[in-house]
Amino acid sequence: MTEKVFTLTAALRFVPALLIGLFALSSESSAARPELGIWYDDSGQGAVEIYICQENASRLCGRIVWLKDPLNAEGVPKHDRYNPDPASQGRPICGLPMLWGLGLMSDGTFDGGKIYDPKTGKTYSVALQLAESDKLKVTGYLGVKMLGKSFLWTRAPAGLPRCEGAPPPPA
């Protein structure tokens, strides 16, 4: 009996932290959650909008909403040509979901999500950490985060035009 009481007591200690995490993501505006918004990737060739996932309000997602060069050499909008799934290779890069499932950790960072790299067609685990108010550390990894590769994204200016085909900002 005491073992069950201890297990229940230990489990109940985590409930407030879980509720705070869920509330923090679902009720805060973009200004209050600094990771939300549009970020230039490390190359400066694209920008990703990070937003609260529609299907799970306790997670962050992201999609490409700006490209420096949205057209290929033939003047056609760029597509997801490196995707390992042939059925997905026709998807336009503009508007392409590339981050999903990032959960808020107890230290204020985000982890446990995935990131898709349209330049290679590969998917990695991902963690996000705000480095400065306008710098976001994005770490892609396979298995062990310490062995991953980190990139620094820069906050895009307000009013950055969205590429053709990008969905409107989330409500």
pLDDT tens string 89-119: 999 999 999 999 999 999 999 999 999 999 9
What CATH code is assigned to 2-155? 2.40.128.520
| Residues 36-51, mean pLDDT to the nearest whole number | 97
Tell me the percentage of the chain whose pLDDT exceeds 90: 71
Question: Would you give the DSSP letter of residue 146?
Answer: G
Tell which wins on pLDDT, 110 or 14.
110
- Among 87, 98, 92, 113, residue whose Cα is nearest residue 39: 98
Residue 127: pLDDT over 60: yes
Entry pTM: 0.80
Q: How many other CB atoms are found less than 10 A from the CB of residue 4?
A: 8
Question: pLDDT, tens digit, for every residue of 59-84?
Answer: 999 999 999 999 999 999 999 999 99
The DSSP annotation for 83-139 comes to -SSGGGTTSBSTT-EEEEEEEE-TTS-EEEEEEEETTTTEEEEEEEEEEETTEEEEE
Confidence of residue 32 (pLDDT cuts 50, 70, 90): low
More confident residue, 1 or 6: 1
